[in-house]
Amino acid sequence: MKYYKYCEPWGDKIITEDEILDEYWDEWTFKMTFSGQDERLITPENCIQDFITINWAFEIERPI
């Protein structure tokens, strides 16, 4: 499992790929579909990559 860290107004947050998909997948797929994106681009991997890019997240080792 991969972990990512990013900054929110109230502090740093650590999130897993599964959590990214749980929190972001529905909204992301709606926006992708609504904007007319090719269905082949709507994948969990692309969703995670968009989340990483939008939030300036970076992969970290497993937190303690």
Write the DSSP assignment of 24-37 as a string of letters: HHHHHHHHHHHTT-
- List pLDDT tens digits, range 8-64: 999 999 999 999 999 999 999 999 999 999 999 999 999 999 999 999 999 999 876
* Burial call 4-22: b when 16+ CB within 10 Å, e when fewer: beeeeeeeeeebebeebee
Q: What are phi and psi of 56, to 5 degrees?
A: 55, 40
pLDDT recorded at residue 7: 95
- List pLDDT tens digits, range 35-49: 999 999 999 999 999
Q: What are phi and psi of 61, to 5 degrees?
A: -70, 165
CB 1 within 8 A of CB 16: yes
DSSP summary character for residue 1: -
